[in-house]
Chain A
Amino acid sequence: EVQLVESGGGLVQPGRSMKLSCAASGFTFSDYYMAWVRQAPKKGLEWVASISYEGSSTYYGDSVKGRFTISRDNAKSTLYLQMNSLRSEDTATYYCARHDTIGFAYWGQGTLVTVSS
């Protein structure tokens, strides 16, 4: 069974940094692209970033480009999102998703990041 478990969310002050993790199991992690998708409270889905199998290629949404970094450790089957210079508008539930050729086929339960002083 595919499982994606996010961690690392919480309350952070504007301008500070935070790193999210996503532990994957139930599939060969290195065989799949992975992604982060976020959802602000009561709002729609927003793609944040995707990463290729070995991490050699990364893709970012315009609102996070230059501030967020997606990475992966295939030996640990773990996906990461380093978030710097956080803003109030980054407040959201962050979902880890397996980015298959057929779309986001599997999603984690999400971790809430609140950016506030």
Chain B
Amino acid sequence: AQSVTQPDIHITVSEGASLELRCNYSYGATPYLFWYVQSPGQGLQLLLKYFSGDTLVQGIKGFEAEFKRSQSSFNLRKPSVHWSDAAEYFCAVGYSGTYKYIFGTGTRLKVLA
């Protein structure tokens, strides 16, 4: 069955530290991969997406993610976290020929001043 796993429910980092949020998916073919961010009380906003080409993709707010087919992973990274990055982050997978997504359960990021 298709699935998306975000193994870290909560992550706490200090402001200025680097960040990596993990995402693994289960699917037989190459999926379309997304990271969304949700600030408190808000809807979700797209950070970045991958569907072909360069496996390292750049997004908004200084985020990047790398698609690793061999590991079925699409981890999100940021070299230096800002306090405003505190939010919940969702990895999602879309599949060719369908409009549907599968979302991970989310990782809540806390940033220490």
Q: A and B, one complex?
A: no
Q: Which residues does B use to contact A, with CB under 8 Å?
A: none
Instruction: Give me the interface of A with B, judged by CB distance under 8 Å.
Output: none
